[in-house]
């Protein structure tokens, strides 16, 4: 599933390529993907442009040229956004094979055609993602359901400690809950806990002040490093500069089960279920 770094990379790429391009038409190949209350999705987008693209957690927020209207996109488990013009292919989201870039294909559910003949494709193998047109009030409702953005100034050590105060569940379940911290998923939660030397099933109320500080810094460091290297889950794709996602080279526990821990060399990485998710950790390094 695309997480914060993958979504941020998509946002950065699209801001460099599709802003102010007038939309010629929109083709919806799977109706449930596109949502727009009381109006036709295609009609709303026709002849307008994208003015600014941002991220809130794992949501992509597109400010439209029509005042007070926005396009909200969530990739869910297997969503992919692929931009194609005569000179380049830029894509991000769930990883897939190179041959799937022969578009459109059976996984293509929405296509935006721009007047300069470039195209934006939305692919989604499991069809859980969505594109929704909302107004300012509805956008606020989306944001109000989400927690702190871990790469924004609002996420600091004090705010992190306040979130953890008086909570008794395990730390991994807490970190995965989008109403507390928006954007963390399975990959970066496991990697952050490993970096902080904390077991994923540790109870929150048993964490020391020192451990909380280490975890806070680990989250920021892991996410910043992943954004720098264009994330993990779409390493087959390239950006406008021809760069591939390379954070997969920095993973320490994710999909490393059965391998010796690269940090201590004394134990093998284990995989168990925590908070309903496959969870990797080192039983020696993490306490």
| Catalytic residue set | 2-3, 58, 277
Question: For the stretch 96-129, what's the b/e string if a residue is b when 16 or more beta carbons lie within 10 angstroms of its beta carbon?
Answer: beeebbeebeebbbbbbebeeebbbbbbbbeeeb
Give me the helices (H) in the chain, please.
Answer: 4-17, 41-45, 136-144, 157-164, 171-176, 186-195, 209-228
Copy the structure tokens of residue 104. 């459109």
Distance CA 218, CA 220 (A): 5
* CB contact at 8 A, 26 and 41: yes
* CB contact at 8 A, 235 and 248: yes
Distance CA 5, CA 3 (A): 6
At residue 18, φ and ψ (nearest 5 deg) are: -120, 0
Pairing label, strands 270-274, 277-281: antiparallel
Whose CA is closest to 250, among 226, 233, 234, 228?
226
At residue 227, φ and ψ (nearest 5 deg) are: -60, -40
Please give the biggest Cα pair distance in the chain.
61
Distance CA 12, CA 1 (A): 19
């Amino acid at each position: 599933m695309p997480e914060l770094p993958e979504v941020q990379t998509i946002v950065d790429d699209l801001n460099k390529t599709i802003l102010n391009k007038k939309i010629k038409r929109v083709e919806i190949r799977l109706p449930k993907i596109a949502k727009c209350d009381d109006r036709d999705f295609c009609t709303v987008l026709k002849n307008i442009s994208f003015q600014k693209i941002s991220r809130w957690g794992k949501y992509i927020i597109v400010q439209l040229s029509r005042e007070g209207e926005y396009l909200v996109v969530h990739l869910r488990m297997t969503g992919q956004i692929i931009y194609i013009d005569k000179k380049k292919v830029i894509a991000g989201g769930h990883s897939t094979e190179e041959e799937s870039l022969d578009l459109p294909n059976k996984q293509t559910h929405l296509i935006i055609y721009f007047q300069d003949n470039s195209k934006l494709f939305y692919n989604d193998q499991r069809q859980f993602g969505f594109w929704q047109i909302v107004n300012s009030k509805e956008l606020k409702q989306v944001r109000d359901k989400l927690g702190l953005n871990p790469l924004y100034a609002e996420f600091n050590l004090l705010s992190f400690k306040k979130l953890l105060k008086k909570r008794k569940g395990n730390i991994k379940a807490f970190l995965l809950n989008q109403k507390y911290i928006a954007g963390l998923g399975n990959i970066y939660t496991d990697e952050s806990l490993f970096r902080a030397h904390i077991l994923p099933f540790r109870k929150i109320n048993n964490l020391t002040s020192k451990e909380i500080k280490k975890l806070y810094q680990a989250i920021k460091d892991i996410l910043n490093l992943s954004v720098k290297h264009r994330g993990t889950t779409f390493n087959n794709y390239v950006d406008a500069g021809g760069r591939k996602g390379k954070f997969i080279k920095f993973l320490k526990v994710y999909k490393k089960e059965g391998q010796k821990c690269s940090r201590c060399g004394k134990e093998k990485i284990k995989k168990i279920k925590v908070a309903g998710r496959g969870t990797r950790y080192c039983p020696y390094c993490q306490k």
